[in-house]
Amino acid sequence: MIPMNGREFIGRGSTDEVVCIACGETVTRSDAREYDKYGDRWSREGKEFEFLCKPCHRACCHQPRDGLEATLCRAGAGETDRRSFLRRYCEMTGDAATK
């Protein structure tokens, strides 16, 4: 299927493979769900999506996450050790239960 803007679109039944960002499993595109770290998968212009396998997608919290990505980045997600990240995240979010 080709959309009106001329770029190729991966449609249903595609045999392309993607990697789940949560568990690392390689699955067919039809067995995955798009993940947009900015929380707006409907605004598609110029975006490259990551993917979750269906089991990992079902396990995710589907609540709004305004500001979550920016907070994770400021706390050092993926760039510092777990303990430092969790300390920073809790300080930034005011989570007194973990201090």
In this prediction, residue 8 has a pLDDT band, given cuts at 50, 70 and 90, of: very low
pTM comes to: 0.48
**Rounded average pLDDT over 8-31:** 78
- Written in H, E and C, the secondary structure of the chain is CCCCCCCCCCCCCCCCEEEECCCCCEEEHHHEEEECCCCCCCCCCCCCCEEEEHHHHHHCCCCCCCCHHHHHHHCCCCCCCHHHHHHHHHHHHCCHHHC
Residue 54 amino acid letter: K
**Mean pLDDT score of the chain:** 78
Domain boundaries, the chain: 1-61, 63-99
Task: Kindly report the backbone phi and psi dihedral angles of residue 29, in degrees, each rounded to the nearest multiple of 5, phi listed first.
Answer: -55, -35
**What's the pLDDT score for residue 14?**
52
Q: What pLDDT digit, counting tens, does each position of 31-57 carry?
A: 999 887 776 667 778 778 889 999 998
